[in-house]
Amino acid sequence: MPSEQHLIVRIREAVATVVLNRPERHNAFDDTLIKALTRTLEDLERDHRVRALVLTGAGKSFSAGADIHWMQCMATYTREENQRDALGLARLMDILYRFAKPTIARVHGAAVGGGVGLVAACDIALAAPAARFCLSEVRLGLIPAAIAPYVIGAMGARQARRYFTTAERFDAREAQRIGLVHEVAEDEADLDTRIEALLQGLRHNGPQAMQAAKALVRDVAGRPIDEPLIRDTADRIARLRVGEEGQEGLTAFLEKRDPQWCSAATD
């Protein structure tokens, strides 16, 4: 897959690594980067070679959020033009959140504003010890609206009310404590080691099952435990049990061998 101007995309052993590539701007968003990342995610979701995705940034930062020059341009837009522009970012976040395959955020340096949104929209987030986070929109008289559903989902409403309104900077350990990241590595080398260990584990899991598991969380979270939910969850597992992947997984377990998808992940 060819790299976009502001992105580097590598595919190896069923893993797509997407690198935000504006290091001179600390990987800040503009409309070009938003469109490029949206197209790339859509392409990678359709790519049958890809079973997992790692999102990271080039240079010193993960992502500094919105590019200040781009924001200056938006200040001259009409309300309708601003709404169309904001929808582009909102749709990018939703595409990442709903990406069918497992996603991992590799966070180093600064993650600010929309950069925090990218972290929250990924399934798994690991951070270097020097990573720093900030939801700084109110400092500019704005709010983190497009990223709010994903950030609130990750850290919870109580923590979001604090960090949305104070614009405090917080470190990787605090990000882990409040649920924005899952793990803090010992250093950047350990960060890559931990991510590779996660990816190795993902290669042993059924690709369709992982997609179904992600959909299960999205669809079940927040719903009341009632008869429709009970029937829905029973139907989901029944379909997988009789499906080709489920049959292969159960057979491989009983025969004490790796399922076929393990070898396919390293081809």
Question: Residue for token digits 């582009």?
Answer: 88
The CATH class that applies to domain 206-264 reads mainly alpha
State how far the Cα of 163 lies from the Cα of 161, in Å rounded to an integer: 6
Which residue in the list 4, 13, 24, 137 is annotated as catalytic?
A: 137
Say whether 206-264 and 7-202 share the same fold: no
Instruction: List the one residue out of 204, 213, 240 whose CA is nearest residue 14.
Output: 204
Q: Model confidence over 105-151: pLDDT tens digits?
A: 999 999 999 999 999 999 999 999 999 999 999 999 999 999 999 99
CATH hierarchy code of domain 7-202: 3.90.226.10
The pLDDT assigned to 2 comes to 42
State how far the Cα of 102 lies from the Cα of 198, in Å rounded to an integer: 10
All structural domains of the chain with their residue ranges: 7-202, 206-264
- Note if 137 is an active site residue: yes
pTM reported for the whole predicted model: 0.93
Low-confidence ranges of the chain (pLDDT < 50): 1-3
The pLDDT assigned to 4 comes to 61
State how far the Cα of 159 lies from the Cα of 152, in Å rounded to an integer: 8
